[in-house]
Amino acid sequence: MTKRILIIDDVEYILEFEEKVIESIKSEADFSIVIDKASTILDAKELVDLNTYALIISDMNLPDGSGTEIAKYATSKDESTRVAALTIYPQRYEKERAYFDAFFKKPILPSVFKENLRLLLGI
Amino acid sequence: MKISEVQAVLGTLPLGAFVMDEELNVVWSNHYFDTQFFLKEYKKTNVASFNFIESEESMIDLFSKAFHAPKPWSQEHFCEMSCGKHYHCNISVHELDEVHVLVYLQRSVDVIEQCDDLLKTTRYDHVTSLVNRSYFLELLGEKLLEHNKNKSSLSLLVLDFDSLDDYDVLFTSTDDETIFIELKNKIQEVVGDAQLFGRMSTSKFAIVYEDIVSTVEVEKIAEEIIYLFSEPILVKGHLSYVELTIGVSLYPVDTGNARMLLHKAEHSAAAMQNIEPNSYSFAHKLPEQNVENVLQISTDLPSAIEKEEIYFMFQPQYCHETQRFCGAELLARWEHPELGFISPEVFIPLAEQTGMIRAVTMKAFIEAAKLFKEIEAVGIKNFSLSVNISPSVLLYGDFLEDLKFFMENYEMIGKPLYLEVTENDLARNISKMIEILEEVRAMGILIEMDDYGTGYTSLQYLSKLPIDTLKIDKSFVRDIDTNKHQAVLFKAICEMSLALGYDIVAEGVETKGENLIVASHKKVRVQGYYYARPLLKKPFLELIQKKLQ
């Protein structure tokens, strides 16, 4: 079985960082993981149209809008997609909670992020 | 009853009331009716314009019937309130005089509870049911007005459970919030006479005591709370230890403003986190600072890292033996878009207090990894990079795991990376530090002791510390070419360090004379303005490719 993960962030080093953290827990899973990356909502929507994602991790503050937009779009296409938000200020998005499975606080650190990924992916 | 009497009695009651005449014109209405049944812009001059009552009859028919019916007259209807919700209301009409009637609109009890619930969500924290930050400030403001009138004082305590700040919220599980309810219950054990108890943020609670104002009494309460949390709390069947610091501000000693009073207590609590966990501090005992700026800096720190407002400069180290630059120290700098340049002496301690220092350090590691690649790309070998590390980062539970992740995933194995720890930080918790640094070295990372000579490391400890390099503080380097005592001290430190097997970096070399003396000591690297100030990456890369005589 393969689980596809989409990570969305407009800051290049954070995107690379997230990718490395996901790569580092790959060996713990009894399924294979494929990672896609996007820096804008537009790019992310194109990828959502093309693929089925087990998990989407999106920054909330993207250049062309909010992470909530991609959360709504992805879950309307596939209800089983789990969506996590990454934000510096989780308390600012109380009203958007319903669209996400989790809110992760930025800046992320490997140990904490790994643990949250394990929970979301059921590893 | 006269209309003026109705106004006096019903003006501020929490039920809708209005007076209408035979033409169904609304001649008066109370505040509750205006705000709860109407949107602001809505005209309410005649009942014909009412649209909040759900009835099969027109409003004119309904109220004409009521006007002429025997009094008191009443009917039940659903009404749409201005908050958008529909509630069951009793509408009753009472005779005032020959040409006016009084109309009451009252929600049924269960409906009132529903509205109270709505109020609760805006005023109370949904996890602990304590008052939230904004309502706390509102109530505190009212209390300060009273105390100002009575010329009395009050105390505000902020309990900051900093270690819980990184607590991520997994909405799939309600268990995650259990710990905060446990904290609240535990605090409630000592709150006792407190007049106000609220939750200010994820990990901060605040308590106001109006009758306890002497510092001795407040100290007693703070100590009691700290003692209470010296024992583990039970969360999800597991015993967990939590760390807290308490900040205390006093009215009117510290300020007369509710918001500032809270800020000062929060700032005091945060300031203690790095100095001494499980302790308390009074706001008026902290050094004077621009609290507003400090708060803005603390708030902006997390986004500054991401937006790269916090960046790194590189101070080269020169090696006389090879006549080349052989290393560099990474130095964090912050250019704030509104406040301008913020000194690291200001933002690093704040980052330590708020836990953001771990993110700054991780960013420094990533920057070092990138720079190693760029240095190799221009053909330079054996070039070391040093990253400053705060004791709060080293002592953080997940540090070794995060460091291991960095080494393994950023192609850092075998790279000459140094972690710089100041002598004083090492000495503060020496046995624990030795334990952690040994594990760091086992990963192939080198350790530098910064500011050597300014701290209190005994020579006995120095030989036991797991360090590779001593950076001799600039105060021992200054004037070594003109001051005999300085020269003797510098020579002695160098000889002792080399005998113990440590490499040496002389910091703060600024003049040709100082550099000549340092050059006479073998194996001593030089860092200082004589060779280069901290540089941005481009000029730094250009400089280190040059061979200097």
Q: Which residue shows structure tokens 């901060």?
A: B204
For residue B305 the two structure tokens come to 């890292």
For residue B507 the two structure tokens come to 């910091």
For residue B376 the two structure tokens come to 């190799």
Give the DSSP letter of residue A121. Answer: H
Q: Residue B37 half-sphere exposure, CB side, CA atoms within 13 Å?
A: 29
Whole-angstrom distance, CA of residue A62 vs CA of residue B519: 53
Whole-angstrom distance, CA of residue B67 vs CA of residue B384: 92
Q: Pick the residue with more confidence: B359 or B212?
A: B359
Q: Where are the alpha helices (DSSP H) in B124-177?
A: 133-150
Q: Which residue shows structure tokens 């093309």?
A: A50
Min mean pLDDT across A17-21, A83-87, B63-67, B187-191 is at B187-191
- The reply to whether residue B302 touches residue A107, judged by beta carbons under 8 angstroms, is yes
For residue B408 the two structure tokens come to 């393994």
- The reply to whether residue A103 touches residue B169, judged by beta carbons under 8 angstroms, is yes
Cβ of A107 under 8 Å from any chain B Cβ?
yes
Mean pLDDT score, B520-533? 90
pLDDT > 90 fraction of chain B, expressed in percent and rounded: 32
Give the DSSP letter of residue B212. Answer: -
* A117 contacts in chain B (CB < 8 Å): none
Q: Pick the residue with more confidence: B221 or B13?
A: B221
Q: Where are the beta strands (DSSP E) in A1-123?
A: 2-8, 32-38, 55-59, 61-62, 65-66, 82-87, 102-105
**Is pLDDT of B40 > 50?**
no
- The reply to whether residue A88 touches residue B172, judged by beta carbons under 8 angstroms, is no
Q: Render pLDDT for B419-437 as a digit per residue (tens, 0 to 9).
A: 999 887 777 678 888 999 9
The alpha carbon torsion through B323, B529, B307, B351 (nearest 10 deg) reads: 110
Q: Render pLDDT for A71-96 as a digit per residue (tens, 0 to 9).
A: 999 999 999 999 999 998 877 887 88
* SS3 readout for B485-497: HHHHHHHHHHHHH
pLDDT bin (cut points 50, 70, 90) of residue B274 is low
DSSP per-residue codes, B294-309: HHHHHHHHHHHHHTT-
**Is pLDDT of B116 > 60?**
no
Expressed as residue numbers, the domain containing A100 is 2-121
Which residues 17-36 of chain A have a CB within 8 Å of chain B? 17, 20-21, 23-24
For residue B406 the two structure tokens come to 């960095």
- The reply to whether residue B170 touches residue A20, judged by beta carbons under 8 angstroms, is no
B420: helix, strand or coil: strand
Cβ of A90 under 8 Å from any chain B Cβ?
yes
pLDDT at residue B42, as a whole number: 53
Cβ of A92 under 8 Å from any chain B Cβ?
no
Mean pLDDT score, B15-24? 87
Burial class (CB in 10 A: 0-12, 13-18, 19+), B342: buried
Centre a 10 Å sphere on the Cβ of residue B145 and count the other Cβ atoms it contains.
Answer: 12
Whole-angstrom distance, CA of residue B266 vs CA of residue B275: 15
Closest residue to B305, CB basis, from A23, A107, A119: A107
Kindly provide the ipTM of the predicted complex, given to two decimals. Answer: 0.91
Whole-angstrom distance, CA of residue B132 vs CA of residue B178: 17
pLDDT bin (cut points 50, 70, 90) of residue B163 is low
Whole-angstrom distance, CA of residue B520 vs CA of residue B506: 12
Q: For B202, which residue in chain A has the nearest alpha carbon?
A: A91
**Is pLDDT of B109 > 60?**
no
The count of domains in chain A is 1
- The reply to whether residue B302 touches residue A109, judged by beta carbons under 8 angstroms, is no
**Is pLDDT of B165 > 60?**
no
Whole-angstrom distance, CA of residue B439 vs CA of residue B127: 40
- The DSSP bridge partners found for residue A102 are A84, B170
Closest residue to A111, CB basis, from B169, B302, B401: B401
Closest residue to A104, CB basis, from B168, B366, B410: B168
**Is pLDDT of B532 > 50?**
yes
**Is pLDDT of A6 > 90?**
yes
* A107 contacts in chain B (CB < 8 Å): 302, 305-306, 356, 359, 362-363
For residue B96 the two structure tokens come to 């005032």
CA distance A58 to chain B (A): 15
B159: helix, strand or coil: strand
Q: What angle do CA B103, B108, B109 make, to 5 degrees?
A: 135
DSSP per-residue codes, B526-543: EESTTT---B-HHHHHHH
Check: CB of residue B314 under 8 Å from CB of residue B544: no
**Is pLDDT of B288 > 60?**
no
Which domains can be identified in chain B, with CATH numbers? Answer: 3-117 (3.30.450.20), 126-288 (3.30.70.270), 358-533 (3.20.20.450)
pLDDT at residue B547, as a whole number: 66
**CB environment B422-447: b (16+ within 10 A), e (fewer):** bbebbbeeeeebeebbeebeeeebbb
Cβ of A111 under 8 Å from any chain B Cβ?
yes
- The reply to whether residue A110 touches residue B402, judged by beta carbons under 8 angstroms, is yes
Give the DSSP letter of residue B535. Answer: B
B524: helix, strand or coil: strand
Instruction: For residue A103, give the CATH number of its domain.
Output: 3.40.50.2300
Q: Render pLDDT for B483-497 as a digit per residue (tens, 0 to 9).
A: 999 999 999 999 988
Task: Note the Cα A47 to chain centre separation in Å.
Answer: 13
Rounded to 5 degrees, φ, ψ at B415 are -85, 140
The helix (run of H) or strand (run of E) holding residue B346 is: helix B344-354
Closest residue to A90, CB basis, from B169, B359, B366: B169
Instruction: Provide CB contacts within 8 A for A95, sequence distance 6+.
Output: none
**Is pLDDT of B43 > 70?**
no
Q: Render pLDDT for A9-67 as a digit per residue (tens, 0 to 9).
A: 999 999 999 999 999 999 888 899 999 999 999 999 999 999 999 999 999 999 999 99
- The reply to whether residue A110 touches residue B359, judged by beta carbons under 8 angstroms, is no
Whole-angstrom distance, CA of residue A96 vs CA of residue A85: 10
- The reply to whether residue B366 touches residue A17, judged by beta carbons under 8 angstroms, is yes
Q: Render pLDDT for B72-102 as a digit per residue (tens, 0 to 9).
A: 888 888 887 776 677 778 888 988 888 888 8
- The reply to whether residue B405 touches residue A112, judged by beta carbons under 8 angstroms, is no
For residue B397 the two structure tokens come to 């539970």
Integer-rounded Cα radius of gyration of chain A: 13
* A114 contacts in chain B (CB < 8 Å): 405
Q: Residue B442 half-sphere exposure, CB side, CA atoms within 13 Å?
A: 9
Whole-angstrom distance, CA of residue A74 vs CA of residue A54: 10
Integer-rounded Cα radius of gyration of chain B: 34
- The DSSP bridge partners found for residue B85 are none
Q: Pick the residue with more confidence: B400 or B243?
A: B400
Whole-angstrom distance, CA of residue B124 vs CA of residue B133: 8
What average pLDDT is seen over chain B? 83
For residue B269 the two structure tokens come to 């609590």
**Is pLDDT of B170 > 50?**
no
- The reply to whether residue A106 touches residue B409, judged by beta carbons under 8 angstroms, is no
pLDDT at residue A20, as a whole number: 96
Whole-angstrom distance, CA of residue B362 vs CA of residue B160: 24
For residue B148 the two structure tokens come to 């100002």
Min mean pLDDT across A46-60, B2-16, B303-317, B479-493 is at B2-16
Whole-angstrom distance, CA of residue B389 vs CA of residue B399: 11
Min mean pLDDT across B117-121, B264-268, B409-413 is at B117-121
pLDDT at residue B71, as a whole number: 83
Whole-angstrom distance, CA of residue A12 vs CA of residue A81: 24
Nearest to A74 by CA among A40, A42, A44: A44
Q: Render pLDDT for B383-398 as a digit per residue (tens, 0 to 9).
A: 999 999 998 888 888 8
Q: What are the CA-CA distances from residue B246 to residues A69, B171, B427 (Å)?
A: 40, 29, 26
- The reply to whether residue B410 touches residue A111, judged by beta carbons under 8 angstroms, is no
First to last CA, chain B: 104
